[in-house]
Amino acid sequence: MHRFTVTFTREIEADTAEEAALLLYQELSKGPLPDRYSVTDETGVNMEVKLDREKADEFASIDHTADPGNW
């Protein structure tokens, strides 16, 4: 298995960093999840990834830990 760092950016207006984090959490728990990400692999190579929402939802609905290839 390889290791990746996945990030996304949202600009949020808030009075404190904690409030910004809470507002982001609120947004993610109620609205659609982001579909654009910045992905950096273990060698430092960075790429932008845009997910197909339908394929991403299908992937999320499957328990991939049950796949023996993941053990």
Position 62 scores a pLDDT of 87
Q: What pTM was computed for the model? A: 0.69
Position 52 scores a pLDDT of 94
Q: Are 58 and 19 contacting, i.e. CB atoms less than 8 angstroms apart? A: no
Residue ranges for the chain with pLDDT beneath 50:
none
| Rounded Cα gap, residues 62 and 11, in angstroms | 31
| Rounded Cα gap, residues 60 and 4, in angstroms | 18
Nearest to 37 by CA among 6, 68, 71: 6
| Rounded Cα gap, residues 35 and 37, in angstroms | 7
The amino acid at residue 56 is A
